[in-house]
Amino acid sequence: MTTPALAQDLAGIVGERHVRTARAERVTYSMDGLPTHRRLPDVVVLPGTREELIAVVRLLATLGISFVPRGAGTGLSGGALAGGGAVLLVLTRLNRILRVDAENRMAVVEPGVVNAKLSAATRPHGLHYAPDPSSQSACTIGGNVAENAGGPHCLKYGVTANHVLALEVVLADGQVVDLGSPGGEPGGGGPDLVGLFVGSEGNFGIATKIAVRLTPLPRAVRTLLADFGSLRAAGEGVSGVIAAGIVPAALEMMDQSCIRAVEDSVYAAGYPRDAAAVLLVELDGHDAGAVTAEADAVAALLSAAGARTIRTAADEAERERLWQGRKKAFGAMGRLSRDLVVQDAVVPRSALPDVLERIAAIAARHNLVVSNVFHAGDGNLHPNISFDATDEAVRARVEIASGEIMAACIAAGGTITGEHGVGLDKLRYMPLIFDAESLGAMHAVRRVFDPDERVNPGKVVPLHACREWSRGAGSRERGAA
């Protein structure tokens, strides 16, 4: 089918205004938050209702055309890019909060609802949606589900997978299924298909309705900023807090390069510019006295690890300023050079000091600027490489350094992504952490949900590295049922 004919059929469902075929319009959708991957979709379609979305998926199933679901496009793995004739299905118009059930602490939303807007809507009930990615003012809950997104406060409250109760999903063939249940049974009357779906990066279908758990707003909060003379001392401070059994709401680290980028920007938070690293630690709970006691214990542990100074936010304004520096750090790093690769890996927490030193050595060897801002309490690193993508030689060095950073994290017992996903960017690293059998198992599971592999093709599982499983097993079973 020709592109104009397809666009016409799609326009028949969503209206002409919501089908984009002009190159200038499509270019907007050719990247996500990662500058190293680019794919120009032939057609972009923006359904406005659940029914339109299902009709579009059914039309594409009839035509045998692949498609890629996309939220706000803030992803950092090249996961929401459509090329090779795949239609890009943008879900930002499906942005209604369908229900807030304060009594049962849950909400039901459409996939295009912006993360921060859900928390804003539930705040009057004394509740919030806990996963808080740095992009929360723009990213969507549907995208969060696809990527199993995290965020600073996931240390205490858990990642997206811990907060999704039930899903309505449209599969690649247009069939609509309900997974999970809003109550206290993870499988909802079967195996935990919700848990399997969350983090599947769009490969299993599109969530059309998402039931999420809401969390009470803490009544007492203490936010500390500790600065250190070395990365190693800061890393040891993190280990000390975790091993003491204290679970802060958040425990974030920034290194000197990041601190200076923030302090030189409009987001300046008053971080000490001469520090090798700062830790931003937040403790919360329902009792002010207990939270203060825990904050005092944390301060003592950080002092013992070598903190030079420890500052406590005196009021909400100071707390917000300290957090703004952290949350806008990626934006501030844009000042360092033209392009930025935000990397994502996880290591055992006790390995943080060693791995940070290895990353610094890799950066020095390749003559690159690497800034670290990350979720230290989870061991979830974000080494960010600032570079100029127009310089081919530099781009090649960035690729090599990224690979070496991943290898260092894997060697320390870690993994290649903690919250950004595999997408296109991490495909090449998957065989470093999974053997051919395990990758083959993932591929086989994907084929149960999407036998023709039409949803977000070419992502997550590197097919060349998979051992063959019984091909078509899933589709045969489904066809027979």
Partner 1 sequence: MSILDKVRALLGEAAVLEQAAPGGIPRIAPGSPDAVALLLATAHREGWRIRIEGAGTWLQGDSPADLAITTRRLDRVPAIEPQDLTATVEAGIGLDQLRQQLADRGAWLALDPPGLAGRTVGSIVASATAGPLRQGFGPVKDHLLGVTFVTGDGRMVQSGGRVMKNVAGYDLTRLQAGGFGAFGVIVLVHLRLRALPRADVTHLLEGPREDLTQVAEDIAAAGLTPAALELVSPALARREQWVLAVRLAGSPALVSADETGLGAATAGRFTALRAEEAHAFWMRLAEGFAVRPVTFRIGAVPAASDEMLDLLQHQVGDEWVSATPAAGAIRWTGDTTVDRLQRLRRTLAGLEVPLTLERAPWGTRSAVGHFGAYREGVGPLVAGLRHTFDPGSALVVATEGE
| Interactions with partner 1, residue window 98-137 (CB under 8 A) | 101, 103-106
The dihedrals phi and psi of 309, each to the nearest 5 degrees, come to: -140, 155
Paired with 385 in beta bridges are 341, 370
Q: Which is nearer to partner 1, 100 or 369 (CB)?
A: 100
Q: Which of 260, 366, 375, 454 touches partner 1 (CB under 8 A)?
A: 375
- Stretch 166-195 residues interacting with partner 1 (CB under 8 A): 171, 175-179, 181-195
Strands 380-381 and 206-213: unpaired
Instruction: Examine residue 74 and tell whether it contacts partner 1 (CB under 8 A).
Output: no
Candidates 40-48, 51-59, 330-338, 472-480 — which segment interacts with partner 1 by CB under 8 A? 472-480
Binding mask 30-69 for partner 1 (x = CB under 8 A): ----------------------------------------
Q: Does 463 bind partner 1 (CB under 8 A)?
A: no
Indicate which single residue of 66, 122, 135, 203 sits in contact with partner 1 (rule: CB under 8 A). Answer: 203
Which C-beta is closer to partner 1: that of 266 or that of 436? 436
- Among positions 88, 346, 363, 373, the unique one binding partner 1 when judged by CB under 8 A: 346
Running DSSP on this structure, what letter comes out for residue 196?
H
For 263-279, give the secondary structure using H, E and C: HCCCCCCCCCCCCCEEE
Give the separation between CA 52 and CA 81, rounded to whole angstroms: 21
* Residue list 377-396, contact with partner 1 (CB under 8 A): 378-380
Residue with smaller CB distance to partner 1, 269 or 416: 416
Angle at 47 between CA 127 and CA 188, to 5 degrees: 50
Residues in the interface with partner 1 (CB under 8 A) total 104
**330: contact with partner 1 by CB under 8 A:** no
Tell whether residue 148 is a contact of partner 1 (CB under 8 A).
yes
- The Cα 440–Cα 461 span in angstroms is 9
Closest CA to 37 of 98, 78, 86: 78
The total of other beta-carbon atoms located within 10 Å of residue 191's CB is 11
481 binds partner 1 (CB under 8 A): yes
Task: Report the distance separating Cα 194 and Cα 215, nearest Å.
Answer: 19
The smaller minimum CB distance to partner 1, of residues 101 and 404, is found at 101
Q: Are 425 and 78 in contact (CB under 8 A)?
A: yes
| Residue of 15, 437, 452, 463 that binds partner 1 (CB under 8 A) | 437
312 near partner 1 (CB under 8 A): no
Place of tokens 């499983």: 469
Residue in 8, 36, 95, 162 binding partner 1, rule: CB under 8 A: 162
CA-based torsion, 215, 217, 222, 227: positive or negative = positive
Separation of alpha carbons 288 and 14, rounded Å: 52
356 belongs to the binding site for partner 1 (CB under 8 A): no
Among 421, 424, 457, 466, binds partner 1 (CB under 8 A): 421
- For residue 261, the SS3 value is helix
Is 449 a binding residue for partner 1 by CB under 8 A? The answer is: yes
Helix (H, G, I), strand (E, B) or coil at 448: helix
* Footprint (CB under 8 A) of partner 1, residues 244-303: 244-247, 285-287, 289-290, 293-294, 297
